A and B are shown apart, each in its own frame.
Chain A
């Protein structure tokens, strides 16, 4: 954690923009480069930045371990859920065409949720790894 006032203020100003950028990368992936994986990394980077400036404990209060661990699992489950939705609606596994009466709209919907699943798992994993590595340094090796 840093006590430098300038850094803390700058961080407070910057972090919302990083999160916004993550959202942009997530949703603009259809038209330009980007997608769930990249967005997940950027989102995790924002949280890591927060943890570096405000301390690991504060970051863990914002996004506690149980929540991060649940994100790791939830993303995969969301992806699988899209797959099962295809099954239930009469298509094959991961068939997006059946997700909407209009096949192309179904593709859109499927890709949207799948990318969301990727982003959730990736950001969760990156963040958890950071927590574990950083936590190892401070409370380990007493």
Chain B
């Protein structure tokens, strides 16, 4: 049953992406991208990744959509018709897809409890984590403590983007002064 729900949601996501690829109205594209993210968040809930789902809903469906709409508002644009036949992109995509088919074919099946990822490293988090960190939510414990350094890196990425956007979009000091003058 759980597998059925997940697979149905995944199928919906595939449909929304196909529609998105064929749409040229950018507003519709952004709305579809938001829908895609929302479906993704739902899939994540079904996959027990509640922390991730919450983030994806807030970030993918929320922040990203707002940012895209904001940028679209500043750019006011409609996608032009593609000028040439996309043979090269198709070839690149097909090759990537084939390597992925090849690579994922032998991977453990869905919900295989004997898969290596359930046998190595993770068991310690689940068995010892609450005692070692005193925190029942293992995602928080791994995120902030066991792999806290990754999270420092992640915060730094956000910081980099923020400071970078300031550098790119800030108007000169002078214009700000002009605005306050009258």
Q: Hey, which chain A residues are within 8 Å of B81, CB to CB?
A: none
**What number of A residues sit within 8 Å (CB to CB) of B?**
50
Q: Hey, which chain A residues are within 8 Å of B148, CB to CB?
A: 94, 96, 110-111, 114
What's the nearest-Cβ distance from chain B to residue A8, in Å? 21
CB-CB contacts of A14-44 with B at 8 A, as 1s and 0s? 0000000000000001111111011001100
B136 at the interface (CB under 8 A from A): yes
A98 at the interface (CB under 8 A from B): no
A11 at the interface (CB under 8 A from B): no
Contact present for B134 and A129 (CB under 8 Å): no
Contact present for B145 and A107 (CB under 8 Å): yes
Contact present for B54 and A117 (CB under 8 Å): no
Q: Hey, which chain B residues are within 8 Å of A126, CB to CB?
A: 63
Contact present for A35 and B140 (CB under 8 Å): yes
Q: Hey, which chain A residues are within 8 Å of B137, CB to CB?
A: 29-33
Contact present for A107 and B133 (CB under 8 Å): yes
Contacts A129-B165, A137-B73 known; A38 to B54 CB distance under 8 Å?
yes
Contact present for B62 and A107 (CB under 8 Å): no
Contact present for A128 and B165 (CB under 8 Å): yes
Residue of B nearest to A28 (CB): B137
CB-CB contacts of A87-117 with B at 8 A, as 1s and 0s? 0000001101000000011011011001101
Q: Hey, which chain A residues are within 8 Å of B169, CB to CB?
A: 132-133, 136
CB-CB contacts of B65-88 with A at 8 A, as 1s and 0s? 011001101100000000000000
Contacts A37-B55, A42-B58, A134-B70 known; A139 to B175 CB distance under 8 Å?
yes
Contact present for A34 and B51 (CB under 8 Å): yes
A residues near B (Cβ < 8 Å) are: 29-35, 37-38, 41-42, 45, 48, 69, 72-73, 75-76, 79-80, 83, 93-94, 96, 104-105, 107-108, 110-111, 114-115, 117-118, 121-122, 124-126, 128-130, 132-137, 139-140
- Which 4 A-B pairs rank lowest in CB-CB distance, beginning with the nearest? A125-B162, A104-B134, A133-B70, A33-B50
B residues near A (Cβ < 8 Å) are: 50-51, 53-55, 58-59, 62-63, 66-67, 70-71, 73-74, 131-137, 139-141, 143-145, 148-149, 151-152, 154-156, 158-159, 161-163, 165-166, 169-171, 175, 179
